[in-house]
Amino acid sequence: MNRFAELLDRLAYEPGRNNKLRLITGYFREVGDPDRGYALAALTGALSFKHAKPALIRDLIAARTDEVLFGLSYDYVGDLSETVALMWPKATLAAHNNPPPPSLTEVVTTLRTLGKTELPKQLERWLDELDETGRWALLKLVTGSLRIGISARLAKTAAAALGDKDPHEIELIWPGLAPPYLDLFAWLEGRGDKPVNRDPAPFRPVMLAHAIEDGDFAALDPADYIAEWKWDGIRVQAVAGRDERGHITARLYSRTGEDITASFPDLVPSLRLPGAIDGELLILREGRVQSFNVLQQRLNRKVVSAKLIKEFPIHLRAYDLLGDDENDLRELPFAERRERLERFIAKLDDPRIDLSPTVPFDSWEALTAARADPASAGAGEDADAVEGVMLKRRDAPYLPGRPKGQWWKWKRDPHIIDAVLMYAQRGHGKRSSYYSDYTFGVWTETENGEELVPVGKAYFGFTDEELLQIDRFVRRNTTEKFGPVRHVVHEGDKGLVLEVAFEGLQRSPRHKSGVAMRFPRISRLRWDKPPREADRLETLERMLKAEPAEIDV
Amino acid sequence: MRAQDILLPNAAGLCCKPGGFHIDPVRPVERAVITHGHSDHARAGHGAVLATQETLDMMRLRYGENFAGSTQAIRYGEEIRLGDVKVKFHPAGHVLGSAQVAVTCKDTCIVASGDYKDAPDPTCTPFELVPCDVFITEATFGLPVFRHGDASDEVKKLLASVALFPERAHLVGAYSLGKAQRVIKLLRQAGYEAPIYLHGAMETITHYYQSRGIELGELKPVKGMKKAALAGTITLAPPSATADLWTRRFPDPVTAFASGWMRVRARALQRGVELPLVISDHADWDGLTATIAATGAGEIWVTHGQEDALVHWCRSKGLKAQPLDLVGYGDEEESETPLQGEAEA
């Protein structure tokens, strides 16, 4: 447990993805079975036991420490598990009789079977045996609040690196595996065969598109391609299969292979035909696709309430079929898969699942026109949820990853405004010596006259060279400092204008300006433009009118 | 005689009327008795200064030759009469030259311990327990969540990270007086023999430590080094430098910070520290409470830090205790002023 705690501790402070990977892979290499398997399970969220309530932890510490001292400490530290871990006074044990600290395996396997009444005594024993970091990790684990900024995907990638394998391969067999993953590690270390996925509804690695550039079209023949709308939802794979007893198992996966079925129970009954659909998850109200802002309100909810399901009806818009019953279709050309998909969706005949229409075109000019005006090109009332077009080669098989020249995405041009840099904040990790997070504003008329009001924050989009330039500008033009934040000069004739690109806008009572941008980034530095010529809040408000009002949940 | 008639806080600091001096005054006074060289305790501009030779030397290095009207050096264990009181210095184990000041008037003995730690430190004389009637203790880490553990284990953590990331530079933020030299010495004791690099602000005081016979191995200024050559190396720098422009000369630096504050995650994350090292030159909670109990003092005065918790603890043990409202002392790591002429690094 102490070694696992050490890993978690280090991961919590490490900002870099590659460095996190090295730390995790290093742990898998150094620590044997079955501990590392349970660690992988903990990092991927695959452990299941009944979590301890914070009240139980409070009772344990209350029995051992002074109430006032605990109160002062908790106020200072601000986190229950951490406070208890740090101030836990160990019971004085006879020196010759100290049991060794528990292993992660011991903790996990004991928690699985332990009765509720035995838990407090057991926790107390472990807290006595572990060191500070060990106690912290134990408490985070048993209270189910192990949030350390590691995705399941990252943990699997780290495991794959142990055997120089592609993380996709692990994703493929993952649903058939169970902690402590002895067969997986045996295969990764070359001591055993690749585990077979016996899951009736396995994930298939997804195929991704390249962004098309103006110069690419010259080499492409329109006749070789089929075009579809690019929907502004989330990419999913909906898989249904029969288990050994002939029952249908249905699962919904994210594009990285994470099982997200539990978040969308309302879609599961519609997945009753064995097959694997590649498509986009959307919210439909009265047959009309809602904006991503609306979908976002349904995502990342811990509890999927009946109300949420009713007000945010989920929908799957299908654009590819990877499997039809027992048949793997991935080797077939796209045009053929598309026909199979059309038959499949017709046979399914379910209001929650429909077909993503193709966009007819015979020249790049025609497609350019369709992309510029999806409403008149077939998207109709759903045009607001279209973020561009997809181009797919008629003869392309379904290949995992981002193969060259097969699929292209051609996004609609982003919204652009000119805003004025107002505040700059230091970045994190590698960027901790740079002012790399920028708050920008636009002009508005207030009772004090013309003023800049902040409308967003961006921390990417610029090149390394531009970052150096902005950083230098910030340091030379700071008017005030507040901890890590600097106020940067922003007056009519003094300041820096940033061209900001963004994908959408929504009303936000949390922002002073009343608007919030989606996916804002710095697209250009306008050294040439005096701040007074930057955009006004009214421009954004006009753009907002096009967006539907939000519903409160 | 009442203890308050011997020592009492006023605007300039802890004043000893019958002795005619202040201990660690924050404003210029006629006679100052200084416990140790950190800038919040040792200030320039006093008339006469009594301190250990090391503390006087450090003040000279920081403030220049004319930092006081006159100076007098005192050794550990030496006793001097000042006015109606006797003053005796005892090692405090905080940094090189740090002392507790025992003030005796008639039959009452008060120990002003300054900053102290009871943990081992190879760069200074170990803390000495001084039995007394009134013990004045600091409370920098006066909460039971602060338990510092063994500093050499933290140094092992640093070395493990250097081994895991040989292509990255390791930057260790450490206060330039005391902490930095202790970290270097601990690295040497752990068997690390490669040259250790120093930020410019570290050089003077570190060389002073070496001149006092503390072996620190091969030390090099980081200034002028090529970026690539710093891969796999360890550099000591003042904490304020580890998040600034200065770090750009290092290849993908791992930012470490050696401080007792690193025990609390929010404090480490707030500073953007990637490798927190819990190494403190102050007593931790267990150290504070054990020391208080061992002095045998019936009355405890608690200064700078988390007074509330420590006062509460003392009272729960049947000791008379009160917070001493002294202003101007802080956590040296948060308020570091560079040594004279060393701002450029």
Name which residue leads in pLDDT, A349 or A151. A349
A82 and B265: CB-CB below 8 Å?
yes
pLDDT of A111 over the 80 cut: yes
Counting residues of chain A whose pLDDT is more than 70, the rounded percentage is: 97
Boundary-marking domain end, from A376, A394, A411: A411
**Contacts with B239 from chain A: Cβ below 8 Å:** none
* Alpha-carbon gap: B268 to the closest alpha carbon of chain A (Å): 8
Domain at B209, CATH number: 3.40.50.10890
In a domain, A162, yes or no: no
B272 and A432: CB-CB below 8 Å?
yes
Q: pLDDT-based confidence at A454, cuts 50/70/90?
A: very high
C-alpha–C-alpha distance, residues A207 and B281, integer Å: 57
Boundary-marking domain end, from B277, B297, B315: B277
Strands B46-51 and B68-73: parallel
Q: pLDDT-based confidence at A511, cuts 50/70/90?
A: confident
A433 and B245: CB-CB below 8 Å?
yes
**Contacts with A83 from chain B: Cβ below 8 Å:** 145
For every residue of B220-277, DSSP letters joined together read: EE-TT--TGGGTT-EEEE-GGGGGSGGGGGSSS-EEEEESGGGGSHHHHHHTT-SEEE
Same domain for B164 and B269, yes or no, is: yes
In a domain, A506, yes or no: yes
C-alpha–C-alpha distance, residues A403 and B337, integer Å: 57
Same domain for A383 and A293, yes or no, is: yes
pLDDT of A90 over the 90 cut: no
Summarize pLDDT for A330-356 with one digit per residue, the tens: 999 999 999 999 999 999 999 999 999
Q: What are phi and psi of A87, to 5 degrees?
A: -95, 0
**What is the pLDDT, as a whole number, of residue A49?**
80
Who among B145, B252, B306 is closest to A430 (CB)? B252
Who among B147, B164, B276 is closest to A86 (CB)? B147
In a domain, A269, yes or no: yes
Burial annotation B227-254 (CB, 10 A radius, 16+ → b, else e): eeebeebbbbbbbebbbeebbebbeebb
pLDDT of B144 over the 60 cut: yes
Counting residues of chain B whose pLDDT is more than 70, the rounded percentage is: 94
Same domain for A406 and A419, yes or no, is: no
* Alpha-carbon gap: A112 to the closest alpha carbon of chain B (Å): 29
Same domain for A462 and A366, yes or no, is: no
Closest chain B CA to residue A432 = B243
Range of the domain at A522: 415-545
Who among B145, B244, B247 is closest to A87 (CB)? B145
Domain at B315, CATH number: 3.60.15.10
Same domain for A230 and A374, yes or no, is: yes
Strand ranges, E, within A78-217: 210-211
User: What single DSSP character describes residue A99?
Assistant: P
In a domain, A444, yes or no: yes
Residue A84's CB is within 10 A of a number of other CB atoms, namely 26
Instruction: Name the catalytic one among A20, A140, A156, A230.
Output: A230
**What is the pLDDT, as a whole number, of residue A296?**
81
C-alpha–C-alpha distance, residues B154 and A505, integer Å: 48
Amino acid identity at B114: G
Boundary-marking domain end, from B250, B277, B304: B277
**What is the pLDDT, as a whole number, of residue A96?**
56
Summarize pLDDT for A169-216 with one digit per residue, the tens: 888 788 778 999 999 999 999 999 999 877 889 888 899 999 888 788
Name which residue leads in pLDDT, A255 or B289. B289
Secondary structure class of A2 (helix, strand, coil): helix
| Kind and range of the H or E run holding A235 | strand A234-242
**What is the pLDDT, as a whole number, of residue A203?**
87
**What is the pLDDT, as a whole number, of residue B15?**
95
In a domain, A188, yes or no: no
What is the arrangement of strands in the sheet containing B8-10, beginning at the earlier edge strand? B8-10, B13-16, B21-23, B31-33, B46-51, B68-73
Amino acid identity at A179: P
Boundary-marking domain end, from A142, A162, A187: A142
Same domain for A389 and A419, yes or no, is: no
Q: What are phi and psi of B237, to 5 degrees?
A: -145, 155
Q: pLDDT-based confidence at A426, cuts 50/70/90?
A: confident
Same domain for A444 and A326, yes or no, is: no
Amino acid identity at B198: L
The top-scoring range by mean pLDDT among A72-86, A105-119, A473-487, B89-103 is B89-103
Same domain for B262 and B285, yes or no, is: no
Whole-number mean pLDDT of chain A?
A: 90
Note the ipTM here.
0.90
**What is the pLDDT, as a whole number, of residue B330?**
58
Range of the domain at B228: 151-277
Who among B149, B164, B268 is closest to A22 (CB)? B164
Catalytic residue list contains A116: no
pLDDT of A95 over the 60 cut: no
C-alpha–C-alpha distance, residues A296 and A310, integer Å: 15
**Contacts with A72 from chain B: Cβ below 8 Å:** 143, 306, 308-309, 312
Q: What is the mean pLDDT of residues B133-150?
A: 95
B240 touches chain A (CB under 8 A): no
Residue B120, token pair as written in the block? 């081992």
In a domain, B339, yes or no: no
Our count of domains for chain B comes to: 2
A72 touches chain B (CB under 8 A): yes
**What is the pLDDT, as a whole number, of residue B170?**
97
Q: What is the mean pLDDT of residues A459-468?
A: 89
**What is the pLDDT, as a whole number, of residue A485?**
85
**A304-A382-A537 Cα angle (round to 5):** 85
Same domain for B76 and B129, yes or no, is: yes
**Cα dihedral angle (B92, B93, B95, B96), rounded to 10 degrees?**
90
Boundary-marking domain end, from B258, B277, B296: B277
pTM of the model: 0.74
Boundary-marking domain end, from A87, A110, A142: A142
Q: What is the mean pLDDT of residues B45-54?
A: 97
